[in-house]
Chain A
Amino acid sequence: MITLDFLINAITLGSLYALIALGLVIVYGILKLANFAYGEFIMVGGYALYMISTIAPLPWLILAILAVLTAVAVSYFTELIAFRPVREKSLTALLITSFAVSTLLQNAALIIVSPRAKAVPLPQLFSTSINILGSDVPVRNVLTIITAFAIFGLLTLLLRKTVLGIALRAAADNFKMTRMLGVPANLVISAAFIISGLLAGVVSIFWVGRTASVTPTIGAAPLLVAFIACVIGGMNSLLGAVVGGFVYGFLFSFLSLLLPQGLLDYREAFMFVIVILILLFRPEGLIRNKYSGERVG
């Protein structure tokens, strides 16, 4: 029943989901902000790919890099303009701001581009497949896995070996203490948003690559994925996000395989029921962190 095909699909989904979750958690760890606008950064990446390709006939790789940079820029500027003024005041205000930013970006896409789906240019490579041990595997999946693991590696290096990385990790553990030790809050938070935008941009290329089109509401699905994965893995650790992403990817693949046709439509409801159960019985997720403290009663 479990074939190589299935495994590679599950790993692809898992690594994509892990990337998505990582982008959300890197901000959450520091600000405790479940960023509702995160899905829209992914949408912005997709639209950038579409819009830049209509303006200038550039090689695809450059287009993709520009799209990622656009997502980074949007992420950074929303932090600067929308989140920074509210940050110190109240978590509720911060959350509502992120919801407002999400609505704003979505409707801006509606006005500036169109409510209809737009075709996004993709390289030939994305639609070909190669033969691995007797099963046809789309190159896109292989690329997703390679990119994801390259990013995990680079991020690990960044977080372990550089001063900024150490500051980011310290801030995720205890932001107040980190600030008292002289790490500037603005720098750390901006860096977190930039990394978040970078991940969103990379994800957008592969997410859009699955359907080859982009719509204003495309960000909703990855946002939910990120929420679920973070909750499963543990909201307070980066490793947890990666683990959660993979667990979710595998779980989702299994549910698709095992659920009868009639219940497939309820797949998302099932996933969210799992999320609610995890939050109730193990609110710190699979990967524990010393500093998690959410529960009341």
Chain B
Amino acid sequence: MNRTLPLWPVFVALILVGCAGDEKSWHGKDISGLMPELEFQLQGTNGQPVTAADSKGTIRLLYFGFTSCPDVCPTTLTDLRRSVKQLPEQYRDDVTTLFVSVDPRRDTPERLASYVNFFGERIVGLTSEEPALRKLAKRYRTTFGYDEPDASGNYNVSHSSAVYVFDRSGSARLLLRPGLSPEQISEDLAQLARESG
């Protein structure tokens, strides 16, 4: 008993090193193991069904929004486009942004198509009937809701303000909270692209 006593600090140190050694630092919130892998079946802007398999092998950025969104959605999508542009060149085509509109009443495929085209090429506009959207939102522990329409029929939509990041194999990895700069997002994406590239 007495002989092993001096070894205790060494054990403790080893344990601490073991914990810290594997840790990568991210700007976003690490959600590995907290959420299920990417899976969905929604409609693309051409009316055809789109699934997670269509973008397999790339890093997927999942974002819920709506095209009439006054500020949050355009800002987020602009930031995402800028962060992808800042990636090392070989990774720029390895990131797919999935913009899921949770306002299918107003967001027709045409409207969604022109909206997402504004934010670059590697962004996919998706939507569906409300039940399928609810199912997807529930899978990622988020939701959306509608305000009462005003006199001209406009209404606000509450939705997630975070971006879910899935790696090339479709595992949920990061949650980008609002407030991250495009540089920080870019660093995270580059780190993710390197690890599974």
* A and B interact: no
Binding site for B on A (CB under 8 A): none
Binding site for A on B (CB under 8 A): none
